[in-house]
Amino acid sequence: MTDEWSSSEKKIARRVFDAALHQELTEVLQTFKAMAERASDPEGMWSTEEFLSKSRWAIDSKYDYRYSQLDLVFGRLLREGRISEQDLSGLSESKMSVILRIAAF
Amino acid sequence: MTDEWSSSEKKIARRVFDAALHQELTEVLQTFKAMAERASDPEGMWSTEEFLSKSRWAIDSKYDYRYSQLDLVFGRLLREGRISEQDLSGLSESKMSVILRIAAF
């Protein structure tokens, strides 16, 4: 849990969050389309279904835009290399410190 | 519940069951591939996922190859037009009568 989010921090958060989500959805979409293209039997079809349902669950649980959760979200995205420290520039020192600790966890 | 299945009836049942299942899986596969081909954003992708998970559930619950369930299965397939009465030719009169009543239900 970090301190309150100022309005300029909220803007940064929204932009970084949306960009990371968009990027991840684009990757899942590409993989999905390639799997579907290759699928020529029920097995390939059900593998695609499993890939989609796991991806949906993972994305839904990862991208939680509540201010009480954003430090965890950004820490995780940083750890996964989906965002960089520079992307978060403008957040308070105390928030960055929490996010970096989560990223390193 | 119908009387016991003779070995010749079991052969007929297996053939009709497998052919109907194969046909239905082929239709789902075609629809899936067309949806995936058209999908160009997350919405189209998640619609495809929902279509697949509903289809999988429907197929799993419909194609139940237990002798105690086959009259229900064939009655339903007949009602849906997925099999014909001729396909079942060779089953006992009592089985056909149960299956036809279920089909007409």
CB contact under 8 A, B46 and A33: no
| Res A78: pLDDT | 98
Q: List chain B residues with CB under 8 Å of A36.
A: 32-33, 36-37, 48
Outline where DSSP puts E strands in chain A: none
CB contact under 8 A, A32 and B42: no
Calculate the average pLDDT of chain A: 96
pLDDT tens, position by position, B32-88: 999 999 999 999 999 999 999 999 999 999 999 999 999 999 999 999 999 999 999
Residue in chain B nearest A40 by alpha carbon: B29
A49, B45: Cβ pair inside 8 Å?
Answer: no
B56-65: pLDDT as tens digits: 999 999 999 9
In this prediction, what percent of chain B has a pLDDT beyond 70?
98
Shortest Cα distance from B29 to chain A (angstroms)? Answer: 7
- Computed from CA positions of residues A90, A10, A2, A70, in that sequence, does the dihedral angle turn out positive or negative? negative
How many percent of chain B have pLDDT more than 90? 96
Query: Who's near B74: CB < 8 A, 6+ residues apart?
Result: B13, B16, B17, B83, B88, B99, B102, B103
pTM for the predicted model, two decimal places: 0.88
Is-contact A74 A12, C-beta < 8 A? no
Nearest-10 crossing angle of helices A7-38, A42-62: 170
